[in-house]
């Protein structure tokens, strides 16, 4: 049974709407998973980020070319090596009608850097030791030393309303967030969809879509079918085989971009069997990165041997980890003896390409490991990988992106002692990370990051796999340019011809 509603045909049996795409009053976006949070200062993962980035504004942002440009801050200047003054727009209001001021900026910074708040993002902002409102439109940030990555990190810092958060508390704010962005929160039907409405009072470029629906559609084949049927307008997280189905489509087009995100294996060197360096090397030599890229991913991804991509400041040319050598991997397994026969699980989540997971499982089995796959939902995966270097999964396959395109954001969270995401604690790496984030000399920073890459390549707490390509399916009339930081800025999209 179909019911006509305005320009929509609602397929009641399927539970979703079918727009006349280019003339639709509503954009429908299919995500790979449900957002784990809508509070931008709690969890940080792609499906949450896609949604809340449109509800909130930041001090600064990146344009589609990757350059840092003003957003809430109209300008900024250094007062010293540890102080920077931001001048703010005076015409910004939150969705409840209240004025955004320097008090809200200072509150947002203090909130995310408060250890008791427990933000997984804290390590990316904890160089900031003070945020001081000087007037309604001026705020001074103070760091505990020179911090060259400050602006790159601030592209991710969302401004939340102090009065609202203090009034309702953190948990209610997560369920009903209030921002100042181009879209305002309307509803969150758990397990189904988040609905946003256009903020017609937005100070900047207004969104072209009156309503946007972000749906949780874990199955990639279903996301493809929804696009082809016209029941969605944009789908994220599609692999090359799925995108190939759109090449001859009259309705849908494939969109891709090489990103700053990378895929990698997390090995827990504090737990058997990966407390044995021979076994870690065997894993690294068992995985055929280029074979996976060419045989499964369509050849666009780029193999890497470090935990950065060329899109990051801090990328070092010439870093080489163990090469693919299954014969050597088998020999290492044999040398390790009984230790290599300990069964272990490869932990994964729906956001990762399961074809790659299965290929790596088989490659590890081929050299003598007893490995199974444990698939968990995305929130559970994130919780497990934030348990610290001892209690995190024995082996997990994941992706990493700081959305900042700077090594400080990419490496500090994963390798500095004391962070929830930390994979391994190493005093030498700690010192290099601390020094690199405290010097304004780019050459000195690059030298420190190169040394970190060399240590990681030698000790193998991780096996970097490849720089990822992000794949979207989009309705033909939708004008959308994918970016390396994978942002879905709704007010940068348009309906075309």
| Mean pLDDT confidence for 357-380 | 96
The tally of CA atoms less than 13 A away on the side-chain side of residue 152 is 21
Whole-angstrom Cα distance, residue 321 to residue 480? 37
Q: What is the pLDDT of residue 12?
A: 29
Question: Which CATH entry fits the domain spanning 258-469: 3.40.50.720, 3.40.50.2300, 3.30.70.1560, 3.10.105.10?
Answer: 3.10.105.10
Which of the two residues, 8 and 414, has the higher pLDDT score? 414
Structure token pair of residue 151 = 């602006």
Confidence of residue 24 (pLDDT cuts 50, 70, 90): low
| Mean pLDDT confidence for 474-482 | 95
pLDDT in tens, 288-297: 999 999 999 9
| Mean pLDDT confidence for 34-39 | 92
- Are the C-beta atoms of residues 274 and 284 closer than 8 Å to each other? no
Q: What is the pLDDT of residue 292?
A: 97
Region of residue 470 (phi > 0: left; psi between -120 and 50: alpha; otherwise: beta) = beta
* Strand, coil or helix: 309: coil
Percent of the chain whose predicted confidence (pLDDT) is above 90:
82
- Report domain extents, the chain: 2-52+173-257+470-495, 60-166, 258-469
Q: Is the pLDDT of residue 190 over 80?
A: yes
Q: What is the pLDDT of residue 22?
A: 40
* Strand, coil or helix: 263: strand
CATH node for 60-166: 3.90.76.10
> Measured at the alpha carbon of residue 484, what is the angle toward residues 296 and 471, in degrees to the nearest 5?
35
Structure token pair of residue 256 = 């891709």
- Are the C-beta atoms of residues 185 and 48 closer than 8 Å to each other? no
Q: What is the pLDDT of residue 2?
A: 31
Nearest to residue 321, comparing CAs of 359, 290, 281?
Answer: 281
Which of the two residues, 378 and 146, has the higher pLDDT score? 146
| Mean pLDDT confidence for 64-90 | 95
| Mean pLDDT confidence for 316-338 | 97
Q: What is the pLDDT of residue 141?
A: 98
Query: What are φ and ψ of residue 165, in 5° steps?
Result: -60, -45
Q: What is the pLDDT of residue 14?
A: 37
List of residues 6+ apart from 136 with CB closer than 8 A? 88, 90, 99, 101, 102, 103
Nearest to residue 234, comparing CAs of 31, 36, 492, 495?
Answer: 31
Q: Is the pLDDT of residue 383 over 80?
A: yes
Which of the two residues, 313 and 5, has the higher pLDDT score? 313
Mean residue pLDDT across the chain: 92
285 to each of 19, 198, 323, 344, how far by Cα in Å? 49, 51, 6, 18
List of residues 6+ apart from 461 with CB closer than 8 A? 266, 267, 269, 280, 415, 423, 424
| Mean pLDDT confidence for 23-31 | 86
Question: Which CATH entry fits the domain spanning 2-52+173-257+470-495: 3.40.190.10, 3.40.50.1370, 2.60.40.290, 3.40.630.30?
Answer: 3.40.190.10
Q: Is the pLDDT of residue 6 over 50?
A: no
- Are the C-beta atoms of residues 424 and 320 closer than 8 Å to each other? no
Q: Is the dihedral of CA 235, 236, 238, 243 positive or negative?
A: positive
Per DSSP bridges, beta strands 211-216 and 26-31 are parallel
The burial of 150, by beta-carbon neighbours within 10 Å (0-12 exposed, 13-18 middle, 19 or more buried), is given as buried
Confidence of residue 10 (pLDDT cuts 50, 70, 90): very low
Query: What are φ and ψ of residue 394, in 5° steps?
Result: -60, -45
Through-space distance between the first and last CA atoms of the chain, rounded to whole angstroms: 31
Q: What is the pLDDT of residue 20?
A: 41
Model pTM score: 0.80
Q: What is the DSSP string of 141-154?
A: EEESS--TTHHHHH
pLDDT in tens, 193-212: 999 999 999 999 999 999 99
Q: Is the pLDDT of residue 379 over 50?
A: yes
């Amino acid at each position: 049974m179909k019911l006509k509603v305005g320009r929509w045909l609602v397929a009641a049996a399927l539970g979703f709407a079918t727009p006349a795409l280019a003339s639709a009053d509503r954009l429908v976006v299919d995500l790979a998973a449900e957002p784990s949070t809508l509070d931008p200062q709690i969890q940080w993962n792609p499906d949450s980020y896609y949604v809340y980035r449109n509800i909130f504004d930041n001090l600064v942002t990146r344009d589609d070319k990757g350059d840092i440009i003003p957003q809430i801050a109209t300008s900024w200047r250094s007062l010293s090596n540890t102080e920077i003054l931001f001048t703010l727009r005076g015409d910004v209001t939150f969705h409840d009608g209240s004025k955004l001021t320097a008090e809200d900026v200072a509150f947002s910074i203090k909130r995310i850097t408060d250890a008791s708040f427990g933000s997984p993002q804290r390590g990316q902002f904890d160089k900031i030791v003070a945020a001081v409102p000087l007037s309604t439109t001026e705020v001074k940030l103070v760091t505990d030393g020179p911090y060259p990555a400050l602006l790159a990190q601030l592209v991710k810092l969302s401004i939340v309303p102090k009065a609202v958060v203090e009034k309702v508390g953190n948990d209610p704010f997560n369920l009903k967030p209030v921002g100042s962005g181009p879209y305002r929160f309307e509803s969150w039907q758990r397990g189904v969809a988040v609905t946003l409405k256009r903020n017609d009072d937005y100070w900047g470029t207004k969104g072209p879509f009156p309503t946007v629906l972000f749906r949780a559609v874990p199955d990639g084949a279903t996301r493809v079918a929804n696009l082809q049927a016209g029941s969605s307008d944009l789908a994220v997280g599609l692999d090359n085989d799925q995108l190939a189905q759109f090449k001859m489509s009259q309705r849908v087009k494939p969109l891709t971009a090489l990103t700053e995100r990378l895929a990698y294996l997390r090995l827990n060197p504090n737990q058997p069997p990966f407390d044995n360096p021979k076994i870690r090397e065997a894993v690294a030599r068992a995985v055929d990165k280029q074979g996976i890229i060419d045989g499964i991913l369509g050849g666009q991804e780029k193999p890497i041997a470090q935990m950065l991509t060329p899109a990051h400041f801090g990328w070092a040319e010439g870093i080489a980890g163990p090469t693919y050598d299954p014969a050597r991997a088998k020999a290492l397994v044999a040398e390790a003896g009984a230790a290599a026969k300990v069964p272990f699980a490869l932990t994964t989540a729906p956001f990762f390409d399961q074809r790659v997971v299965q290929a790596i499982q088989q490659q590890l089995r081929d050299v003598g490991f007893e490995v199974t796959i444990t698939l968990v939902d995305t929130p559970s995966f994130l919780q497990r990988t934030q348990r610290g270097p001892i209690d995190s999964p024995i082996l997990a396959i994941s992706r990493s992106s700081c959305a900042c395109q700077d090594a400080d954001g990419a490496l500090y969270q994963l390798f500095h002692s004391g962070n929830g995401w930390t994979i391994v604690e190493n005093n030498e790496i700690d010192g290099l990370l601390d020094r690199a984030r405290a010097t304004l000399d780019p050459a000195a920073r690059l030298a420190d990051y190169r040394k970190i890459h060399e240590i990681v390549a030698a000790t193998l707490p991780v096996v970097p796999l490849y720089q990822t390509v992000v794949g979207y399916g989009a309705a033909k009339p939708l004008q959308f340019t994918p970016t390396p930081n994978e942002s879905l800025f709704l007010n940068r999209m348009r309906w075309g011809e």
